[in-house]
Structure 1
Amino acid sequence: MAVHDDCKLKFQELKAKRSYRFIVFKIQEQQVVVEKLGDPSESYEDMASFPADECRYAVYDFDFTTDENCQKSKIFFIAWSPDTSKVRMKMVYASSKDRFKRELDGIQVDMQATDPSEMSLDLVKARAI
């Protein structure tokens, strides 16, 4: 599975410059491409509205405050693979996930979701700490 250069470039901009809050990726014509870029002012909910019957990858830059009142940030990788998506699509996403993730240097938390409840903001907060 090829990874479009734009995927790595936009991820570096998210990581280094904080140009984006999130990036949603999809597989199109045998390569991973950027589908949507989230402005730094956008919320987790803006990113998490994935198609109900299609797989996606996403990275999300999550800002939070620790119990010691320190501002921190973690980059989440989310693999969205709903039960209602086609078996072939789920297989393609599952088989290319690790290779794609290796292309994005700096992922701190990995999440897999088949249902919106498995990637709720509360779960993200719990995994960040």
Structure 2
Amino acid sequence: MVSQGTVSDEVTQAFAKVSSRELRWVIAKVESSDIVLVASGARDSPLSELAAALGDEPAYVVYDFEGTREDGSGVMKTVFIAYAPDSCKSMQAKFAIQNFKASVKSKINCHKEMQINDKADLTEAEFRDAFNL
């Protein structure tokens, strides 16, 4: 059964800032049945900073990917990521991230959803593959 988590206004506002290109990324996590803001990255924040900000617990990430197609045209896509690291020993935390995913995803307009289980997978190459670039 899928539960409905309560997404805080702070998280909703941060997601909107990613969509409006004010922030590069946002990290949110589950606390009980609440979804709370953990961290956010400025527009010029590199992907490595996002990876460093992720802990060892499951989290939701909204990331604004910018890339270039082979023809030179630009691509800007918002990605929703369910991050559930293999290193996390708490099955309850892993279940919670999946259980509340629909509630969180409903707060953001995204172009792609991804599941990432290792910080090492947060690379430009992964995003380029996701968008067939």
TM-score, structure 2 length as denominator? 0.86
Residue of structure 2 aligned with 1:110, choices 108, 113, 133: 113
Q: Percent identity, please.
A: 22
1:45 aligns to 2:65 (yes or no): no
Output the CA distance in 2 between the equivalents of 1:88 and 1:29. Answer: 11
Task: Name the stretch that deviates more: 112-121 or 71-80.
Answer: 112-121
How far apart are 1:27 and its partner, in Å?
1.4
> Which one-letter code corresponds to 1:74 in the other structure?
K
The runs of 5 or more residues in structure 2 that have no matched partner are: none
How far apart are 1:64 and its partner, in Å?
0.9
Residue of structure 2 in register with 1:66 after alignment: 69
Residue of structure 2 in register with 1:91 after alignment: 95
1:15 aligns to 2:14 (yes or no): no
How far apart are 1:59 and its partner, in Å?
0.7
Output the CA distance in 2 between the equivalents of 1:118 and 1:72. Answer: 20
- Secondary structure of the residue aligned to 1:21 is strand
C-alpha contact (below 8 Å) 2:22/2:42 kept by paired residues = yes
C-alpha contact (below 8 Å) 1:78/1:112 kept by paired residues = yes
How many residues align? The count is 126
The runs of 5 or more residues in structure 1 that have no matched partner are: none
Residue of structure 2 in register with 1:3 after alignment: 7
TM-score, structure 1 length as denominator? 0.89
How far apart are 1:28 and its partner, in Å?
2.1
Output the CA distance in 2 between the equivalents of 1:93 and 1:83. Answer: 13
C-alpha contact (below 8 Å) 1:22/1:59 kept by paired residues = yes
Query: Larger relative CO (CA 8 A, sep 6+): 1 or 2?
Result: 2
> Which one-letter code corresponds to 2:119 in the other structure?
P
Structure richer in helix, relative to its length: 1
Where does structure 1 differ by over 4 angstroms across 4 or more consecutive aligned residues? none
